[in-house]
Structure 1
Amino acid sequence: MNTVSIRRLDASKPGFEAELGKLLAWESVSDAQVATAVTEILSQVRSRGDAALIEYTNRFDRRNLQAAGEFCLGADELKQALERISPESRVALETAAARVRSYHEHQVQESWRYSEADGTVLGQQVTPMERVGIYVPGGKASYPSSVLMNAIPAKVAGVDLVAMVVPAPDGLLSDLVLAAAAIAGVDQVYTVGGAQAVAALAYGTETIPRVDKIVGPGNIYVATAKRAVFGQVAIDMIAGPSEILVICDGKTDPDWIAMDLLSQAEHDEQAQSVLLCPSADYLDAVEASLGKLLADLPREAIARQSLQDRGALIQVADIEQAIEVANRIAPEHLEVSVDNPEQYLPSIRHAGAIFLGRHTAEALGDYCAGPNHVLPTSGTARFSSPLGVYDFQKRSSIIYCSQQGADTLGSVASILAKGEGLEAHARSAEYRVTEKA
């Protein structure tokens, strides 16, 4: 019989909080050596533009680019990729894209304003960003879902230009990724990657326009570069390893839950899969299922290491305690595989995405359910949210004073400005105040 090594914890025993803290501990994205390399790359691309971008691309991706135009893909090339993929893949991509677009259309924020009694108008104007860059892993890796999840919300928001960078190591490009770009309406595609691509998007080069925001996943160099250029441009987040936390009452087929845990464990060795359940017997059953199902996975070694290093089966007193632990963890993905799961929804405070019911596999959210799969990790769901249309919209305050409103507000502002010792502020406000007889 196949076995799997995964830690067992009990939320009711002394010392659980300390054990949970060790389980959740994860070092951030960078180290000194990576940071030094990234700083040099950013500096060179910022100062030398396309020339540095080509040099780094040739070095790191084993390319032989001679001119900037060679890393640009046109609309025709995206369309050709769309024609090359299988009919089944095209239908799947188009179905997923339609669902993602439909969901995100509900997120669009509208401008608003209201008038006060004296005629003063206050409000908020909502406008899309002008240019957004999306980073997509490339080469042998194929993540068309990442293209859809990053590009479609930007297009729904009304972003003028969506530029995609995707590395092509050894000249390899995924037709699925390019087809997804065509379906999502990506405007420009550049076959460059790494920290050098982030630098090009953040600072602009002769060929690649500077963008207002960079979104999308990448390796440690990409994540470090995104962190370094934050402030020059906006970024979505610094993502940690993928996570799943499952709350189960012990009535769901243990094979289902085991495979849900494995669906995250196969991402990489640092991914985290955790199950909370009141039944020790059920935890035993899921552990047995993990051992059985793991053997048939192509990424068995990765998933096994993930479960051993960062996975856990945790016994809780009841579902209420499970939710308390879940809120403490603030997971990226939270499955609530219980009877009448909606009754627990008001108690769930911190989670990137919540999957309710026994039939809602987390993997559906990764690809085609509709909500975004770009989610907060490493406990950041306590204060951040999934990527959405709102991430590509800006809000400007509107203030339009009537004469009467300027009288009232000017007097108030003058008093407060003088209290702060800012006389010019006070006089500026007073100039608009009508003198009383």
Structure 2
Amino acid sequence: MPQSLQITAAAPDPALLDLPWDVPLEEWPDKVLAALPRGISRHVVRFVKMSGRVIAIKEIGETVAFREYELLRALQRLRVPSVVPVGVVNGRRDASGERLETCLVTQHLQFSLPYRALFSQQLQPDTTTRLVDALAVLMVRLHLTGFYWGDVSLSNTLFRRDAETFAAFLVDAETGDLHDRLSDGQRAYDLEVARVNVIGELMDLEAGELLESGVDTVAIGAALVERYTELWDTLTGAESFSTGERWRVAARIEQLNSLGFDVGELDITTDVDGTTVHIQPKVVDAGHHARRLMRLTGLDVQENQARRMLNDLDSYAAAADRQGEEEEFVAHDWLTTVFEPAVRAVPRELRGKLEPAQMFHEILDHRWYISSEQGRDVPLPEAVASYVEKVLRARPDEKAVLGVSDTAVLPVVRD
């Protein structure tokens, strides 16, 4: 039966029209699907190959689909880590004319994994703590923008490696709401939901023998609250000092920069007699190091990857005795003589295993390790070759590679 599809998209791709919208999503043929790890969802979700990329499609109610689409667009404008919305497809009907659910379409986030897929790999003992830290940072960033999540969990989050840590991205925004500012009560409720959900999810991993032994799941939930509270207070808390300690204004800004946040605006006041200064950050924006690296090199990477690469750039400048030169010129030379040759030296068939920035970070780590082991300064090309053979070849692919075995896909959970 002919359909009257309505596709709402900011930049519609004509290839959307070629997908089998007259078939329930759970019955779509393998030829259009990309077998990628999926997290648990209340709805049917499929990864689909389209125009040389991968998109995620979720069947959901029409009203909720449009609302989530607009929320995700708003989060993109606010530069909050979240999946990128592609569009909404409604007006679907099957061959017999029966109405089918509306679909929300988002871009698949390359090099990201759901938490269950991460725990199915061989991970470091502190992986759980690092994931919870990443979730706490994401919650703070969302709350600073006035976004109330409503269903915070590891399941509603995707994780990317970011140097020695992880970066978290919001995936499911259907329970969220955007405000000018969140009340303390709204933040507290979101945090409590997060604590309870994370404990439950970790207990589930424990029951499936996917969690390292000896982990106190309740303590991990409490650590999430503690990490969130510490970061929130640091970013938003007021500070008072005498007028003779004005250097503390710069020190506060430097402290926030060290956490990866830029200060867009400070509220500075003095008391009646002018002896005490009060400061409070009014506008903080994450991505301090990432923005600096982007400005210098054009590389778009995660915050901790940027921090590590900037440190290597500083070391390069010092070794070449170029600290007094224009930073942009030095950065260009570092990019073309250090970073790019290192990445290009990795065999093409292995480059999809990690993001280039993460790969470079691990090469630097490997270089330090073998240099310490051998008692000499190992040249970077030699370190790259050693890293490829001893580390990278054994790593699982973390890029969105098509044709992955279906055994890597977690089951779909329906309402």
TM-score bin (small chain): under 0.3
Q: Based on CA coordinates, which of the two structures has the bigger radius of gyration?
A: 1
Q: TM-score, normalised by structure 2?
A: 0.22
Which fold has the larger relative contact order, with Cα–Cα distance below 8 Å and residues 6 or more apart in sequence?
Answer: 1
TM-score scaled by length of structure 1: 0.21
